[in-house]
Amino acid sequence: MQPLSNFKKIQKAEGRNRPRLFLIFGWLLLLPWLAGCGDARPAMVIAGSTSVQPLMEKIVDRYRKMHPELKINVEGGGSSAGIMAVITGTARLGMSSRQLKMQDEKESSLTPITIAYDAIIMVVHVDNPVNVLSREQVRDLFAGRLTSWKQVGGHDREVHLIIREEGSGTRSAFDDLVMVENKKPVDIHPFALVQDSMGGVREVVKNDPDAIGFISMGGINSDIKVIRLNGVEPSFASIKNHQYELVRPFLLLTRGALDPVAQRLVDYVFSADGERIMQEEGCVSARK
Amino acid sequence: MSVPENKPSNSLSRREERIRRILQLMALSSVSVLALIIVFVFREGLPLIYNKGFAAFLGGQRWAPTRGSFGIFPMIVGTIEVTLGALLIGVPLSLLVSLYLSEFADRKVRTVMKPLIELLAAVPSVVYGFIGVILLVPLVRNYVGGTGFSVLSASIILGIMILPTIISISLDALRAVPQNYREGSLALGATSWQTAVRVVLPAARSGIITAVILGMGRAMGETMAVIMVAGNAVVVPTSALHPCRTLTSNIAIEMAYASGAHQQALFATGVVLFVMIFCLNISATLFVRRK
């Protein structure tokens, strides 16, 4: 009888476990549903440029750690959508990676706050003899009109283009700042190699003597050579005073005066913490 | 004794029944996950294919999703080229290896080699990709030409990655061929090589075809290693040295910042990939049935 009663005991113990198991599974099933129904406090919405979005998300994340009671949503949609959202009042703050159109009455009614500068740095292999390129030369290289390094003062070797993936902020900055001719967009040559991270671009350029790529300010290191655009060395100073040309501003937009809650967030953006996050994200803070 | 013995057996059978139910539920839930994935991917992706037009999406050459161009033709061609390239490299190698292990190697060699080959499958794909970038890409760039990031590099890496799948399944198929086939062939005066190639190999045909199809599915679905060595340019590759982008790479590369129509286009890419892999798996299942 001893073994049998033992078996029963085990059975019983398992039987007691079962409802708990069901509970766990039940909860797992409920989780996605629960995630949908947050609390009903009105959230502060920040919407706009998908280039500014990752930066603002990082900053807001850090900010919320200090103020867990705040509800702030950072949404994408693009610069124009962000500007519209502030005009219509759906968003408290807008994000834009382009200047406001001052000839547009509605847009010019908004107050822009420049929080950072996003710079595009052209990089080549350390052994490449080319040091200086003009903006037009960079464009023609990436459009596939110039195909040999000889055409821009280098060796007689085929140029290998390295770009970022469609949708990345650095790529859209490059498209906006470089790939333009008479205000019309120019397509990048289809044979350009696509990397999905700044590290990837750097790695390819580091290993391929014929490669040229673009990264943001934060990604510069000694593995690669930085091109002086029109002879200007990119630096925090030359970016802030716009001597270096491949720069676009990151703006926050407001309609009228900021309320205290939004003002404190903007203050945080300009704090030392904010500046450090911007550096991590590869852009230059507009902090004085 | 009979009464207390009856009771537990009775509750046992009820318990068994409950266990069966629970297991059934689990099995159903795994299938329902598949159903959910299908519904979700198709719901997100189909509207875009419908809006842009079936032909414009599948046949379009220009992919600029942030500027409204959604042509995935280069990616479909890229996927097919890389997969066929991988088969071209992987299949002959796998068949020779499994023929050797099955027909010519003695048992000791086989028991050591088979697990070792299967260990190839345990190497994470990012490691294959890394070796590809560090070793293979510069080799191709310096000795063959181009940037090194190419259909060729991707095919070589994938060709190696599908070895364990094909070898392991076709080896099982070859071992399953009855011994008396071999004995009959040898008795008729055929050499071991003739026996292996003319008798054993044809007899294991359906298993080997299944192995190749499964390897093909593996090559088609691989993402990480391909992203690292294929160059990912959206072009229809007309040379083995051209860069290319596969359907899986397209999703993985661009998903990070995609929103709106761009995101839908990536789901639509998933729909196309799903249909391709689905057809492949069905044909694999059909071959297994025939066996």
Helix H or strand E encompassing A278: helix A272-280
Confidence at A106, pLDDT banded by 50, 70, 90: confident
ipTM, two decimals, is 0.83
B149 and B266 share one domain: yes
Of the candidates B8, B66, B148, which has its C-beta nearest A166's C-beta? Answer: B66
Residues from chain B that touch A97, judged by Cβ atoms under 8 A, are: none
- Can you give the CATH number for the domain in which B266 is found? 1.10.3720.10
> A195–B232: do the CB atoms touch at under 8 Å?
yes
A159 shares contact with chain B (CB less than 8 Å): no
A4 shares contact with chain B (CB less than 8 Å): yes
Question: Angle between the B163-175 and B205-221 helix axes, to the nearest 10 degrees?
Answer: 170
Q: Which residues pair with A158 in a beta bridge?
A: A148
CA distance A53 to A25: 36
| Domain closes at, from B52, B72, B91 | B52
Q: Can you give the pTM of this predicted structure?
A: 0.78
**Residues of chain B above pLDDT 90, percent:** 77
Q: Does residue B145 lie in a domain region?
A: yes
Q: Are B200 and B103 spatial neighbours (Cβ–Cβ below 8 Å)?
A: yes
Which residue of B lies nearest to A188 if distances are taken between CA atoms?
B64
In this predicted model, what pLDDT tens digit does every residue of A45-80 receive, in sequence order? Answer: 999 887 788 889 999 999 999 888 888 889 887 788
pLDDT at A10: 47
A17 shares contact with chain B (CB less than 8 Å): no
**Residues of chain A above pLDDT 70, percent:** 85
- Exposure pattern of B244-261 as b/e (b: 16+ CB <10 Å)? bbbbbbbbbbbbebbeeb
Q: Which residues contact B218 (CB under 8 A, 6 or more apart)?
A: B161, B162, B165
CA distance A167 to A172: 7
Residue B2 has pLDDT above 50, yes or no: no
Tokens of A136: 């037009």
Please tell me what DSSP assigns to residue B244: B
Worst-scoring range by mean pLDDT, A85-94, A95-104, A231-240? A95-104
Give chain B's domain count: 2
In this predicted model, what pLDDT tens digit does every residue of B85-144 receive, in sequence order? Answer: 999 999 999 999 999 999 999 999 999 999 999 999 999 999 999 999 999 999 999 999
From B219, B229, B214, select the one nearest B126 (Cα to Cα).
B229
> A191–B235: do the CB atoms touch at under 8 Å?
yes
CA distance A55 to B209: 51
In this predicted model, what pLDDT tens digit does every residue of A153-206 receive, in sequence order? Answer: 999 999 999 999 987 878 888 998 999 999 899 999 999 999 988 889 999 999
In this predicted model, what pLDDT tens digit does every residue of B212-266 receive, in sequence order? Answer: 999 999 999 999 999 999 999 999 999 999 999 999 999 999 987 777 888 899 9
Residues from chain B that touch A173, judged by Cβ atoms under 8 A, are: none
CA distance A38 to A42: 11
Q: Does residue B285 lie in a domain region?
A: yes
Residue, of A232 and A19, whose pLDDT is higher: A232
Structural domain for B220, as ranges:
63-290
Three-state DSSP at B246 gives coil
B67 and B33 share one domain: no
> B66–A77: do the CB atoms touch at under 8 Å?
no
**Residues of chain A above pLDDT 90, percent:** 39
Alpha-carbon dihedral A102, A134, B233, A79, rounded to 10 degrees: -10
Q: Does residue B57 lie in a domain region?
A: no
B155 and B30 share one domain: no
pLDDT at B204: 94
pLDDT at B175: 94
pLDDT at A31: 54
Q: Are A110 and A94 spatial neighbours (Cβ–Cβ below 8 Å)?
A: yes
Q: Are B89 and B156 spatial neighbours (Cβ–Cβ below 8 Å)?
A: yes
A19 shares contact with chain B (CB less than 8 Å): no
Which one of B253, B254, B255 makes the best mutation probe of the A interface by having the most chain A beta carbons within 10 Å? B253
CA distance B13 to B122: 41
Three-state DSSP at A282 gives coil
Three-state DSSP at A228 gives strand
B247 and B286 share one domain: yes
* Biggest CA pair distance of chain A: 95
B276 and B191 share one domain: yes
CA distance A260 to B29: 50
pLDDT at A168: 80
B8 and B76 share one domain: no
- Measured in angstroms, the CA of A49 and the nearest CA of chain B are apart by 11
Q: Residue A21 to residues B19, B97, B258: CA-CA distances in angstroms?
A: 13, 48, 39
**Residues of chain B above pLDDT 70, percent:** 96
CA distance B41 to B10: 47
Q: Are A277 and A59 spatial neighbours (Cβ–Cβ below 8 Å)?
A: yes
Residue located via tokens 């009042």: A89
Of the candidates B245, B254, B259, which has its C-beta nearest A76's C-beta? Answer: B259
Q: Does residue B182 lie in a domain region?
A: yes
CA distance A103 to A116: 24
- Measured in angstroms, the CA of A240 and the nearest CA of chain B are apart by 27
Q: Does residue B260 lie in a domain region?
A: yes
User: What are B's interface residues with A at a Cβ cutoff of 8 A?
Assistant: 8, 11, 15, 63-67, 74, 133, 137-138, 141, 147-149, 227, 231-235, 242-243, 245, 252-254, 256-260, 262
Sort strands A132-133 and B63-64 into parallel, antiparallel or unpaired: unpaired
> B257–A50: do the CB atoms touch at under 8 Å?
yes
B21 and B113 share one domain: no
Q: Does residue B42 lie in a domain region?
A: yes
In this predicted model, what pLDDT tens digit does every residue of B16-35 receive, in sequence order? Answer: 889 999 999 999 998 999 99
Q: Does residue B191 lie in a domain region?
A: yes
Residues from chain A that touch B253, judged by Cβ atoms under 8 A, are: 165, 194, 196
A194 shares contact with chain B (CB less than 8 Å): yes
B8 and B91 share one domain: no
In this predicted model, what pLDDT tens digit does every residue of B133-192 receive, in sequence order? Answer: 999 999 999 999 889 999 999 999 999 999 999 999 999 999 999 999 999 999 999 999
CA distance B250 to A217: 27
B129 and B269 share one domain: yes
Q: Which residues pair with A225 in a beta bridge?
A: A124
> A194–B15: do the CB atoms touch at under 8 Å?
no
| Domain closes at, from B31, B52, B73 | B52
Residues from chain A that touch B259, judged by Cβ atoms under 8 A, are: 50, 76-77, 167
A77 shares contact with chain B (CB less than 8 Å): yes
- Measured in angstroms, the CA of A79 and the nearest CA of chain B are apart by 13
B189 and B112 share one domain: yes
B136 and B18 share one domain: no
Q: Are A238 and A244 spatial neighbours (Cβ–Cβ below 8 Å)?
A: yes
CA distance A51 to B257: 9
B172 and B197 share one domain: yes
CA distance B167 to B208: 9
From A233, A235, A236, A225, select the one nearest A123 (Cα to Cα).
A225
List the beta strands (DSSP E) in chain B: 63-64, 69-70
Q: Does residue B58 lie in a domain region?
A: no
Residues from chain A that touch B233, judged by Cβ atoms under 8 A, are: 190-194
Residues from chain B that touch A50, judged by Cβ atoms under 8 A, are: 257, 259
Q: Sign of torsion, CA B251 B253 B255 B261?
A: negative
Q: Which residues contact A171 (CB under 8 A, 6 or more apart)?
A: A163, A164, A165
